Amino acid sequence: RAQVLDRASLAKDAWRIETWYANNGYFSSKIHGWEIITVREGNPAKDKPKIVRVVGYVDEGKVSTIRKINWKGLKRTGSAFITLIRRKAAIKPGEPFNVDAVRETEGMLLNQLHDMSHGFATVTTTVDAYPEENVVDITVHAKPGPPCRFGPITVTGDYDIPESFVRAELTIKEGRAFRAATLAETQRRLFSLGVFSMVNVVPDLSRRKEKIIPI
């Protein structure tokens, strides 16, 4: 449906567009302005508004590529693990910078650390952009934390089947090494029962000193 022209919104839209370009590696992109083109004159007597077309002018600039990627905090995981992470990472040296690829890499690394029993692992990323050189340096900071084990398992929710039926589908076993894949498999099996509209398998990260993660 037609929208009333709000010139103040155009300034916000310009900022949003420039932000989108920056998130995709175009750090020097600029919106140079908007042109309001009349498509049809209005007729106040017939209560018909003026119809316009809005054209924005963008200078994209050059895209910045990833110059180097530094992986911090992974020495103790071993060279084979680091090689695996570099191979599976969505960010690669020489490729255009993309913030979604950075977030995807963070999630992938965190999941891999969780599958190595590092249930308290954290992953953050620092991006240093050099628009004048059209390059970006990325540093991925990982804190694996200690290896952990599954703690007690609590089943909660509003459901009409015996709890024993639910527990029969659990692949999580108290005392065994914490694994993200085990959480995902349990969630899949519970949802496949066909009696739940939603299933959440949530780790309790409050017992760090004990290296135990209740579920």
Average pLDDT (167-181) is 95
Average pLDDT (76-91) is 94
Q: How far apart are CA 179 and CA 111, in angstroms?
A: 9
pLDDT recorded at residue 3:
85
Q: Are the CB atoms for 84 and 115 separated by under 8 Å?
A: no
| Interval 24-42: pLDDT, tens | 999 999 999 999 999 999 9
Average pLDDT (114-123) is 95
Q: How far apart are CA 84 and CA 92, in angstroms?
A: 13
pLDDT recorded at residue 13:
94
Tell which phi-psi region holds residue 89, choosing left (phi > 0), alpha (psi between -120 and 50) or beta.
Answer: beta
| Interval 133-143: pLDDT, tens | 999 999 999 99
169: pLDDT confidence band, cut at 50, 70 and 90? very high
pLDDT recorded at residue 30:
94
Whole-number average pLDDT of the chain? 94
Share of the chain above pLDDT 90, in %: 87
Write the CB contacts of 175 (distance below 8 Å, at least 6 apart in sequence).
Answer: 149, 150
pLDDT recorded at residue 159:
82
Average pLDDT (103-109) is 97
